[in-house]
Amino acid sequence: MTKDNSVIQERGQRVRYIREKLLELSREDFCKNFSLTPQSLKAWELGWGGGLNEARAKDLACHLKKLGIYTTASWLMHGIGNSPKPLTNHNYISEEEDEHIAKELLLFRELSNAVDTIIDDDSMTPFLFSGDYVAGILVSSPTLALDQLCIITDNNNKTYARILKKGDKENFYHLEIFNKKSSLTKKTKNISIKSAAPILWIRKRKRHTPSHLDPW
């Protein structure tokens, strides 16, 4: 499978996830009051004929708001941004902001050995908050990233944004956090890791709390 085909299929999987897991709708019910046939939706989900494109992703994001789900074209197309969630007035992120971040991050991903992640906890506040995006370049050895804020992947494929510290044993490391009031432990001690990438790119996301959010 080529990289392009893999990307197209991942888009389809995101669409299917929303329909089946979040909305629990058949293709027929999902397409009601939307300019899309169940057959075309199936093609999107399976990545046939080029799959979902940018223009239709924007249409789909609008349709999903009518169904009570907030997401953006950037997430549908590239998986960039917060995962879809029930539509509320809280922690609303503008689509324009998501698109801007997506364009920058897609360029960064073209660099050799680039990795990125989205912050999903309070461990690095007040420096990084949940929803912020970070990216970096993998180093050949974790020892080259010691004492730096990094994107770290452990041997269980779990990803962290932490300060990398030398462990008590050779080839083991401590992962430190900033936030002393975090519910997480202050340090993950003596773990073996797969990779480390010093963080070079950060995009902090503004939070919008409009008094009224019209899903239509």
Amino acid 131: pLDDT: 84
Measured distance CA(164)–CA(148) in Å, rounded: 6
**If you search the block for the tokens 């960064």, which residue do you land on?**
108
pLDDT digits (tens, 9 = 90+) for 113-157: 999 999 988 999 988 998 899 999 999 999 999 999 999 999 999
Domain with CATH 1.10.260.40 in the chain: 3-94
Which CATH number describes the domain made up of 3-94? 1.10.260.40
CA dihedral 36, 40, 42, 45 (to 10 degrees): -90
Give pLDDT tens digits for 160-176.
999 999 999 999 999 99
Tell me: pLDDT of 91 over 50. no
In which residue ranges of the chain is CATH 2.10.109 found?
114-203
Is residue 82 within 8 A of residue 98, CB to CB? The reply is no
Q: Is the pLDDT of residue 99 over 90?
A: no
Higher per-residue pLDDT: 51 or 87: 51
pLDDT bin (cut points 50, 70, 90) of residue 63 is very high
Spatial distance between the Cα atoms of 135 and 202, rounded to a whole number of angstroms: 7
Residue with tokens 């370049």: 137
> Over the stretch 12-29, which tens digit does the pLDDT of each residue have?
999 999 999 999 999 999
Q: pLDDT tens for residues 34-54? A: 999 999 999 999 999 999 999
Which class in CATH covers the domain with range 114-203? mainly beta
- Rounded to an integer, the average pLDDT of 54-61 is 94
- How many C-beta atoms lie closer than 10 Å to residue 74's C-beta? 25
The model carries a pTM of 0.66
Beta carbons within 10 angstroms of residue 103's beta carbon: 12
